Amino acid sequence: MTLTFVMMEAPFENARTVSVLRLIDAAIRRRHDVTVFAYEGAVAMTFARQAPHANAVHGRTAEEEDHPLPKDWVAGLMTAAQQRGVKLEWINCGLCVDERGVAEAIPGAKRGSPADLWKASEASDNTLVIGTR
């Protein structure tokens, strides 16, 4: 099966981002091909300059904190897809990238447009939009 997911939520603001990653992860584990169209704030999910930090409240160094960064989770999903022989295509809405200044994305994240979303949707068995509030 081929699935398209649209996500809008920016990282670190809401549980929706993690919920979408759970769904993508589940789809990949079940060997479905997945296209993700990241729209609006979600284009920051793959921003390459996200950086981990220590946690002084819990007394942990940066290494001990092992802070999960969204870009690393997305990269992990890309690796998992590759290992399972399925496709994970990550498309960031280009205009959204520009206005947010997050053009430096991890390898594998592409720049696209609404036309790419429509094409992906047409080529998919189903499309799930998880918007934002």
Partner 1 sequence: MKKTLQIVTSAYRCNSEEQDDPVVWICQAMKGAGADLDMLLEGTAVNYAVKGQDASGLSFGTKAQTQPPRIEEDLKRLSAKGIKVYAIEEDVAARGLERSDLLEEIKGIARAELPKFFAQYHQIWRW
* Contact set with partner 1 (CB under 8 A): 6, 8, 39-40, 99, 113-115, 117-119, 121-122, 126-127, 129, 131-133
Nearer to partner 1, 5 or 73 (CB): 5
The C-alpha atoms of residue 38 and residue 89 are separated, in whole angstroms, by 11
Least distance from partner 1 to the Cβ atom of residue 86, Å: 22
Least distance from partner 1 to the Cβ atom of residue 129, Å: 5
User: Is the CB of 52 or the CB of 114 nearer to partner 1?
Assistant: 114
Alpha-carbon span 102 to 31, nearest angstrom: 30
Q: Are 115 and 26 in contact (CB under 8 A)?
A: no
Is the CB of residue 94 less than 8 Å from the CB of residue 113? yes
Q: Closer to partner 1 at the Cβ: 52 or 131?
A: 131
Give which of 19, 40, 21 is closest to 29, Cα–Cα.
21
**Residue 89, strand partner residues:** 35
Residue number, 50 or 132, with CB nearest to partner 1: 132
d(CA 14, CA 44): 13
Q: C-beta of 34: minimal distance to partner 1 in Å?
A: 17
Q: How far is the CB of 23 from partner 1 (least distance, A)?
A: 15
